[in-house]
Chains A and B, each alone.
Chain A
Amino acid sequence: MTNDLKYAIECLNLSKKYPDGTEAVRGVTLRIPKNTLTTILGPNGAGKTTLLNIIAGVTPPTAGSVRILGEDPWASRRSRALLGFVPQEGGVWPRLNVYENLMMAAALHDVPPGEAKARARELIDVFGLKDHVKKAAAKLSGGLRRRLSLAMALMHDPPIVVLDEPTTGLDPGIRLDFMNLLREMLKDGKTVLMTTHISEDAEFSDKVIVMNEGLIVAEGTADELRLKALGATSIVEVTVALREHVTKAHELLARLAEEAYVVQPLTIVCHVRNPDEALPRIFKALERGSIDVKEVKVRKPSLSDVFRALTGRSLEEPLRGGG
């Protein structure tokens, strides 16, 4: 029955209000297509974790419904076997070793012992944990612990894997490896849903859902979001040498770009549709204005810029409440 469904996860008008009055999720509707990697992007406190907790069956919604491959995880605990969850905190038993943690995860999902042993061996190989099998989880590096946590979520071979901020606190190189690992899982037909506040990680996704203050602000592929939010494909960053030139430079650039704003004391960010056409005009204007320019950079806008354009906030700036 579940194979005929288009979406792995469907949420309709999901809301979550905590007893202290905080409305972490406000009428969220989203659909996660099967066999895709989808990222919910938002700052800390945007409501991502709460939304994921509702989907994973950790926190019940105040209103709305969730369907995991057509089944309601809040109606039947057994349907939770369709999903593997990787909590932000890791969800590993710190004193148990790698193998024991995997076996504990198998016990939680009632995987028969023989099958569990074979599956554990397989996952240990796939996730590069072979040299650490006897090591206590608490003694693993951050990256290895995330791998273990993901392997635990896969012990019962679920079709959907849900990860809450899986790359937070990891070094860039390890983050890259981890994101590639998630993409590899798509080859096995898995559907992956994760949250992050790191825009670079969201770039790996087939679909990005931007979340702010408990609401979904926008969704689509990364490029769709860039065009939608910025109306631009490139960003020109102009850094002036003198503080007293910032205001004048901002005024000049605002006339030439789709949008221009000051991000650091001496840097003005300009959104441009076509950098080849825009750059000569920018240089000319700055020269006429006798602006002392220190540096000019051209880059593709990040999803962090997209978030700023959509919400007026920085992705790195945590919000109060939510979760």
Chain B
Amino acid sequence: MANILRMALYEFKSFIKDKSAVFWTIAWPILWVFMVAYVFMPVGGAHMTLRVAVIDNDEGLPPSNASWSIPYLNMTVKKNFTSLLMDAFNRLNGSNGTIYKVKVLKNTCNGNFSGCLSVAKELLVDRGFDVAVIVPENASKSLAMWAPVRIALLVKGAMPTETYMRYGSIMSVLGNLMTNLSMRRADAAAHMVTSFYSRFSGTANSSGTRWNYTNANISLKTMERYIKYFFYSIAFPLYPKLDTVRPPTTADRAGQIGWVSVGAVGMSLMTGLLTAGAGFFIYRKSNGVLKRVLSSPATLLELLGGDLLSAIAITALSATVILGTGIAIGGRIVFNALNPGHYLAVALIFVAGIFAYGLGLLIAPTVRSTHATGAATAIGLMLVFLTGIWWPPKEMLPTPLQAFANVFPPACAFEAVRDLLVWGKGVAQTYWNIVIAVTGTLTLYAVIALIYRGRAEKIAEKLL
């Protein structure tokens, strides 16, 4: 055992003298923590910028001396449609986490709809706009006549989620405008009905029946209010109140950085140690060290033990530095020396590291050149992205990948570490993650033992 420890010490020294290994295992994940913390999660909260092009063909409000009457025009429409739309953008700017950058383009397509459509598409595809709103020539006139305004909306999105987000954002502006217009129309309608009563009360209609408003208990003013509410209820049969509840992964900046820092440790181990395991034979073959070991009384399994202990030391170093960086830039990673669950979290980081190394050992017999170990790095990277160890969080993954992440031991280990150190949960709340991480790692090493037992030297010889 003593010689294994000494081998581990020198293997570890060899690792820390390898600048590229140190970069990939420590510096690179730290770089990611900084990038995610300051680029994707800016201080003060994230804002989505929506660039909106309004293709305005509106001819404006009809003149007040128009041949047809516009009932209560002043009560319903005082501005043309585009001005009202801009008011809505201004009301919402910044309030729902979106900054609308709106550009109104006049006389770009002469009111021709297909022409406007082409212009709108060009604006989205070539000129960096996210949303285009085509306002027809009769928009304000329709408003004035209490008719629906038929606008066209184009939303750019490379992926469905992106499209939905932009659509939701622009619809919140249009919803605000619709609410505003509906209320104005309801007010005007109520006023109109009440005026009708007051004007025709006591007069006979065409069939000789007399209108007579005699209910002394309800004044006309009260009646107008009742009618107004009635119209409101038609305009807004539902009035949902929106309140957002964010999952812990995005709830607050401290939690986000904590989450990302733990993920960065995962990335470091899944790339660095997986590659170290995969290169166990080939790194030693290329400089003759493998031959020296095989010719010595030390067995390959002893060397492997030393290398594994060195991998654990690397894990400790990498995790300490990365989590320390996360804490330093405001991440919430809490280690309470009196909480046994937190020691368990530390142990789980080692479990994940040992698993990653083991995964590398599984492919080590097939690795025939030092260049081929790059494939191990690629596998490690794929795994951190596909199992929620890094980004995106597990809950954002497609269902089949979520199912895989739910049983992938390192993903479970890091889920448990986040639960314990970042979200402050108890062991009982992340029990299954711990069970899967530990049993999965033990199973992997049972498989490795089956492959290597009595055959390690033969595997090595094949690679010589």
Report yes or no: A89 in contact with B7, Cβ–Cβ below 8 A.
no
Say yes or no: is B210 at the interface (Cβ < 8 Å to chain A): no
Query: Given A91-B287, A110-B297: A103 and B6 within 8 A (CB)?
Result: yes
Find chain B residues with CB under 8 A from A92 CB.
287-289
Interface of B is mostly: helix
Query: Given A93-B10, A95-B14, A107-B10: A57 and B288 within 8 A (CB)?
Result: no
Report yes or no: B286 in contact with A83, Cβ–Cβ below 8 A.
no
Interface-forming stretch among A73-81, A235-243, A263-271, A310-318? A73-81
Query: Given A58-B294, A91-B288: A53 and B464 within 8 A (CB)?
Result: yes
Q: Which residue in chain A gives the minimum CB-CB distance to B292? A: A91
Report yes or no: A60 in contact with B461, Cβ–Cβ below 8 A.
yes
Give Cα A104–Cα B11 distance, bound, in whole angstroms.
9
Give Cα A85–Cα B288 distance, bound, in whole angstroms.
11
Find chain B residues with CB under 8 A from A53 CB.
291, 464
Say yes or no: is A105 at the interface (Cβ < 8 Å to chain B): yes
Say yes or no: is A90 at the interface (Cβ < 8 Å to chain B): yes
Report yes or no: B7 in contact with A58, Cβ–Cβ below 8 A.
no
* Closest chain A CB from B369 CB (angstroms): 14
Report yes or no: A85 in contact with B3, Cβ–Cβ below 8 A.
no
Question: Interface digits, B282-308 against A, CB 8 Å rule (1 contact, 0 not)?
Answer: 000011110111111111000100100
Question: Interface digits, A133-165 against B, CB 8 Å rule (1 contact, 0 not)?
Answer: 000100000000000010011000000001000
Say yes or no: is B18 at the interface (Cβ < 8 Å to chain A): yes
Report yes or no: A94 in contact with B291, Cβ–Cβ below 8 A.
no
Give Cα A60–Cα B456 distance, bound, in whole angstroms.
13
Find chain B residues with CB under 8 A from A78 CB.
297
Interface residues of A in 51-72 (CB under 8 A from B): 53, 56-60
Give Cα A109–Cα B7 distance, bound, in whole angstroms.
11
Interface residues of A in 238-283 (CB under 8 A from B): none
Query: Given A53-B464, A93-B287: A104 and B295 within 8 A (CB)?
Result: no
Say yes or no: is A42 at the interface (Cβ < 8 Å to chain B): no
Report yes or no: B295 in contact with A57, Cβ–Cβ below 8 A.
yes
Question: Interface digits, A80-116 against B, CB 8 Å rule (1 contact, 0 not)?
Answer: 1101010111111111100010011111111001000
Question: Interface digits, A25-65 against B, CB 8 Å rule (1 contact, 0 not)?
Answer: 00000000000000000000000000001001111100000
Find chain A residues with CB under 8 A from B371 CB.
none
Query: Given A58-B461, A80-B297: A95 and B7 within 8 A (CB)?
Result: no
Report yes or no: B298 in contact with A83, Cβ–Cβ below 8 A.
no
Give Cα A191–Cα B461 distance, bound, in whole angstroms.
26
* Closest chain B CB from A266 CB (angstroms): 42
Find chain B residues with CB under 8 A from A56 CB.
291, 294-295
Find chain B residues with CB under 8 A from A149 CB.
288
Residue in A77, A94, A153 whose beta carbon sits within 8 Å of that of B297 in the complex: A77
Among A59, A108, A136: residue with most chain B CB under 10 A = A108
Give Cα A133–Cα B45 distance, bound, in whole angstroms.
54
Report yes or no: B295 in contact with A83, Cβ–Cβ below 8 A.
yes
Find chain A residues with CB under 8 A from B299 CB.
77
Report yes or no: A89 in contact with B295, Cβ–Cβ below 8 A.
no
Residue count of chain A within 8 Å CB distance of chain B? 38
Interface residues of B in 40-54 (CB under 8 A from A): none
Residue count of chain B within 8 Å CB distance of chain A? 28
Give Cα A136–Cα B287 distance, bound, in whole angstroms.
14
Among B3, B6, B292, B298: residue with most chain A CB under 10 A = B292
Query: Given A108-B298, A110-B298, A152-B292: A90 and B287 within 8 A (CB)?
Result: yes
Report yes or no: B6 in contact with A58, Cβ–Cβ below 8 A.
no
Give Cα A106–Cα B14 distance, bound, in whole angstroms.
16
Among B17, B295, B299: residue with most chain A CB under 10 A = B295
* Closest chain A CB from B4 CB (angstroms): 8
Give Cα A94–Cα B288 distance, bound, in whole angstroms.
10
Report yes or no: B288 in contact with A88, Cβ–Cβ below 8 A.
yes
Report yes or no: A93 in contact with B14, Cβ–Cβ below 8 A.
yes
* Closest chain A CB from B279 CB (angstroms): 14
Q: Which residue in chain A gives the minimum CB-CB distance to B458? A: A60
Say yes or no: is B13 at the interface (Cβ < 8 Å to chain A): yes
Q: Total A-B pairs in contact (CB under 8 Å)?
A: 99
Interface residues of B in 123-181 (CB under 8 A from A): none
Among A58, A94, A106, A109: residue with most chain B CB under 10 A = A58
Give Cα A56–Cα B457 distance, bound, in whole angstroms.
13
Find chain B residues with CB under 8 A from A153 CB.
292
Find chain A residues with CB under 8 A from B292 CB.
85, 87, 91, 105, 108, 152-153
Find chain B residues with CB under 8 A from A105 CB.
292
Query: Given A58-B464, A136-B17: A109 and B287 within 8 A (CB)?
Result: no
Find chain A residues with CB under 8 A from B289 CB.
91-93
Among B13, B17, B296, B461: residue with most chain A CB under 10 A = B296
Find chain A residues with CB under 8 A from B294 CB.
56-58
Interface residues of B in 194-210 (CB under 8 A from A): none
Find chain A residues with CB under 8 A from B10 CB.
93, 96, 100, 103-104, 107
Find chain B residues with CB under 8 A from A90 CB.
287-288
Find chain A residues with CB under 8 A from B293 CB.
108
Report yes or no: B287 in contact with A94, Cβ–Cβ below 8 A.
yes
Residue in B3, B286, B295 whose beta carbon sits within 8 Å of that of A58 in the complex: B295
Give Cα A113–Cα B291 distance, bound, in whole angstroms.
23
Find chain A residues with CB under 8 A from B291 CB.
53, 56, 58, 85, 87, 89, 91
Report yes or no: B14 in contact with A96, Cβ–Cβ below 8 A.
yes
Give Cα A108–Cα B297 distance, bound, in whole angstroms.
7
Give Cα A77–Cα B303 distance, bound, in whole angstroms.
14
Report yes or no: A109 in contact with B14, Cβ–Cβ below 8 A.
no
Give Cα A107–Cα B464 distance, bound, in whole angstroms.
22
Report yes or no: B297 in contact with A89, Cβ–Cβ below 8 A.
no
Give Cα A77–Cα B6 distance, bound, in whole angstroms.
19
Identify 9 new A-B residue pairs, CB closer than 8 A, beyond the known A91-B288, A93-B14, A108-B298. Answer: A56-B295, A58-B291, A77-B299, A81-B296, A88-B288, A96-B14, A104-B7, A107-B298, A108-B296
The 9 closest A-B CB pairs, nearest first, are A89-B288, A91-B292, A87-B288, A91-B288, A85-B295, A107-B6, A87-B291, A95-B17, A108-B296
Q: List 16 A-B contacts (CB under 8 A).
A: A56-B291, A58-B295, A81-B296, A81-B297, A90-B288, A91-B287, A91-B291, A93-B10, A94-B287, A96-B13, A100-B10, A107-B7, A107-B10, A107-B306, A108-B296, A108-B297
